[in-house]
């Protein structure tokens, strides 16, 4: 009858050494990835601040923000000269090669990106559980962006309203996921707005609208 051979102390130590070496290698790889991600995030923040400064300088000269910005959201224009923003020199894009998301409203602008470090201190608190942010025109939600800069009169993550401007109070509506629903009997909560109606007495999404906490018959 064969006797089972036990591992010697040397063999056990060799196996333990191999396991420790593999763990050290894996930790080094993960740390390297984390450092690389944080480096790209630092570049993103720097780029967005550069664009923000260029927008502010443009406003100081022109009294408005540049409205011909749509081409800046196109990948093929990354790194190209921006005649409207001479102090910027060339258009910076994400370190992975995609353009940053630029949006200009009436005397307002936002520049938005997605940081790889999901725990970055500059990401708004509770960001991934929020339901009050979306920019449908650019396909942006809390799932694909988490950081931005903006003009001083708004926060970059404020809900985007098409043709946002001064409130022309005419009627009340509920606006959910870009769908306009008249609420003449009253509206309250996170999706309540004042806005203009069109000539057919319907919700006119091309007119300015203003977010409020409550409107209609049951509001003070």
pLDDT digits (tens, 9 = 90+) for 105-134: 768 899 999 999 999 999 998 999 887 677
Residue listed under structure tokens 């333990």? 16
Give the pLDDT of residue 11.
72
For residue 163, pLDDT beyond 50: no
For residue 99, pLDDT beyond 70: yes
| pLDDT tens for each residue of 168-219 | 455 666 665 555 666 656 677 766 776 655 666 555 555 556 666 777 666 6
| Buried b / exposed e along 14-50 (16+ C-beta atoms within 10 A) | eeeeeeeeeeeeeeeeeeeeeeebeeebeebeebbeb
Is-contact 36 90, C-beta < 8 A?
A: no
Give the pLDDT of residue 50.
94
Domain range summary for the chain, segments of one domain joined by +: 29-150, 171-215
Give the pLDDT of residue 93.
94
CA distance linking residue 72 with residue 69, whole number of Å: 5
User: Could you tell me which residue, 8 or 6, shows the higher pLDDT?
Assistant: 8
User: Could you tell me which residue, 48 or 202, shows the higher pLDDT?
Assistant: 48
For residue 53, pLDDT beyond 60: yes
Measured from the Cβ of residue 141, the count of other Cβ atoms closer than 10 Å reads 13
The tokens for 74 are 């196109």
> Which pTM value belongs to this model?
0.62
| pLDDT tens for each residue of 62-94 | 898 888 888 888 899 998 988 888 888 899 999
Confidence of residue 165 (pLDDT cuts 50, 70, 90): very low
User: Could you tell me which residue, 206 or 59, shows the higher pLDDT?
Assistant: 59
CA distance linking residue 3 with residue 8, whole number of Å: 15
For residue 33, pLDDT beyond 80: no
Least confident of 20-34, 44-58, 107-121: 20-34
Is-contact 187 213, C-beta < 8 A?
A: no
| pLDDT tens for each residue of 126-161 | 999 887 677 766 778 888 999 999 999 888 987 655
Give the pLDDT of residue 195.
65
């Amino acid at each position: 009858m064969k006797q089972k051979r036990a591992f010697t102390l040397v063999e056990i130590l060799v196996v333990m050494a191999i396991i420790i070496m593999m763990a050290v290698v894996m930790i080094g790889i993960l740390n390297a990835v984390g450092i690389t991600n944080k480096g790209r995030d630092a570049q993103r923040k720097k780029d967005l601040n550069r664009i923000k400064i260029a927008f502010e300088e443009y406003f100081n000269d022109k009294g408005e923000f540049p409205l011909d910005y749509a081409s800046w959201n196109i990948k093929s224009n990354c790194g190209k000269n921006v005649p409207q923003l001479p102090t910027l020199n060339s258009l910076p894009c994400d370190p992975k090669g995609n353009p940053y998301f630029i949006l200009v409203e009436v005397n307002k602008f936002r520049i938005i990106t997605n940081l790889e470090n999901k725990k970055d201190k500059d990401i708004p608190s509770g960001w991934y559980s929020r339901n009050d942010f979306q920019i449908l025109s650019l396909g942006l939600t809390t799932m694909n962006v988490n950081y931005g800069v903006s003009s001083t009169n708004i926060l970059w993550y404020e809900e985007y309203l098409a043709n946002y401007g001064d409130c022309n109070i005419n009627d009340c509506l509920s606006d959910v996921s870009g769908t306009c629903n008249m609420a003449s009997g009253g509206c309250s909560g996170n999706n309540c707005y004042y806005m203009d109606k069109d000539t057919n007495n319907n919700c006119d999404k091309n007119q300015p609208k203003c977010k409020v906490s409550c409107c209609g018959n049951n509001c003070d």
